[in-house]
Amino acid sequence: MAISLQKGQKVSLKKGAPSGLGELLVNLNWNSKPKKQGLLKSFLGGSQGIDLDLGCLFELKDGRKGAVQALGNAFGSLTNPPYIALDGDDRTGAAVSGENLRINGNMISKIQRVLVYTFIYEGIANWQQADAVVTIKYPGAEDLVVKMDSFDSKEVMCGLVLFENVNDETFSVEKIVQFYPGHPALDKAFHWGLSWQAGRK
């Protein structure tokens, strides 16, 4: 059984064992191969495959801020700050497991907030054909599902989910699904205050 969040809906994760929330798994899956299109659209690049990248902005309690993402090889760490790690980079969307971001819920007292996002690294900005779904899993509770059900955008980046610390005991989770032209615009919308420059992976 899973709980599907609505846009703007905020829920609190259930507190698990006394040691903490345990490991939170944020999974992104999508359809990398768009539907077949006419010859003209294909010629113009309309049938190009889609490569989504999963990542997050983080803010720690000590004021440190940054990003965890494949771009720039910033894969993070579960055992050291920022206590968030990206498993790897699925370039095709064909991997059964998709892309996974892990958050060490047992270190919640060190984490202020985490904004999970995805962006189109390669391919046409067609979110409807990507049909992306985010699933949040953690021990002893039902999965939370965030469907990208807002499609009216040609922007390449989407803010997905915002985790916020609640009394160092649990996280509130809010479905965002809002589109932006890139990292700086997403950063500004959520007042992160990072400096950005072009990167490669």
pLDDT at residue 41 tops 60: no
The whole-number average pLDDT for the span 171-185 is 94
Which pTM value belongs to this model? Answer: 0.87
Alpha-carbon gap, residue 58 to 98, rounded angstroms = 21
Residue in 52, 17, 25 with CA at minimum distance from that of residue 145: 25
> Is pLDDT larger for residue 43 or for residue 95?
95
Tokens, residue 134? 């985010």
Q: First CA to last CA across the chain, in angstroms?
A: 36
Please write the tens of the pLDDT for every residue from 96-142: 678 999 999 999 999 999 999 999 877 777 788 888 999 999 988 88
Tokens, residue 178? 């809002």
Q: Which structural domains are found in the chain, ordered by start?
A: 2-189 (2.60.60.30)
The whole-chain average pLDDT of the chain stands at 84
Burial of 91 by CB count in 10 Å (0-12 exposed, 13-18 middle, 19+ buried)? Answer: middle
